[in-house]
Amino acid sequence: MTRLTLGFASATLLFGVACTSTVPGAPAAPAAVVTPTAAAASPEAPPRLPPAQPVPTERPTLPARYTVTEFAVPPGSAPHDVAPARDGGVWCAAQRSGMLGWLDPKTGSTKSIPLGRGAAPHGVIVGPDGNPWLTDGGLNAIVRVDAATHEVKAYPLPANRPNANLNTGAFDTRGILWFTGQNGIYGRLDPQSGAMPVWDAPRGRGPYGITATPDGNVYYASLAGNHVGRIDTAPGAVTVLEPPTPGQGARRVWTDSQSNVWVSEWLSGNVSVYRPAKGQWQQWKLPGARPQTYAVYVDERDQVWLSDWATNAMVLFGPLTEQFLTVPLPSANSNVRQILGHPGEVWLPLSGADKLAVIRPE
């Protein structure tokens, strides 16, 4: 297990990172301390539109300290996405081994559930039924695993939709599962009836991350198509929304509590937000010379977490203060993909290190 403790100094907005690797029965390694600084939004970003809501006079502050703890998963797992389980464990899509993994954070023990021959799960989420649901590109199917019995049930895509390269799923407020496929499709599954209509995406290839907002809408990001799509959930039609930066490589999307849609832009290194109530965009450049913004997740405090592959770090963005804080990761080449969490915890898949990690405020 590897743990980092991050302390934030309120006056200077600096933080120190103490990294210790611990092996049972062995003395702890000496701590290495670095002091990166908090960064404001890039001055090179285009003029930002005013926020949709008035800014409160008392702005929420970031926790003073964070702890980052890593857990090893079976070698060769290449965990792609994670989802906290209802039993206190954490599910992960072990893409390379074709398994659904489960981690017990209290003990570090793991379990692996085979999904079938040729499986290559990409995304995993927990559905309204409390069970993990996966988008599996190898099986070209949506897969449900019973959390108690580990029974695997696959919902194959229609025969005329082979090789969709399934990516990510999200349940809307009605309990319908929406999903994307990078080879140019999006669709929905009704878990009750098994009905699964699938549509061609505007601009073809690219549909990647997807999110369902509290107000009942569904949005996806198109990496190759450089846009965000708003799905009309009744007929399934899509309205194309253009982020301010052309060729931005919109990769993942996540909703906040006000149904605003946050976008991680892989090619531009930006984080942007679309505010449907005003039809307005804002965008900010992540710190560093050439950031690569892979994933985005908005926590219960409406703070925005981003993974930056260029710096091997997590980046925390405060929308009200418009400031960034960089959280280094202990393992090299972590390659954090999807991010998920629940109150007090942010979980990460370290696909390049065969580990999972959790960030907790102290």
pLDDT digits (tens, 9 = 90+) for 68-119: 999 999 999 999 999 999 999 999 999 999 999 999 999 999 999 999 999 9
Close Cβ partners of 24 (under 8 Å, ≥ 6 residues apart): none
pTM value?
A: 0.86
pLDDT digits (tens, 9 = 90+) for 224-282: 999 999 999 999 999 999 999 999 999 999 999 999 999 999 999 999 999 999 999 99
**Radius of gyration, CA atoms only, the chain:** 20
Q: What is the CB neighbour count within 10 angstroms for residue 274?
A: 22
pLDDT of residue 162: 97
If one compares 24 and 240, the residue with the highest pLDDT of the two is 240
Domain 41-52+76-342 -> CATH class: mainly beta
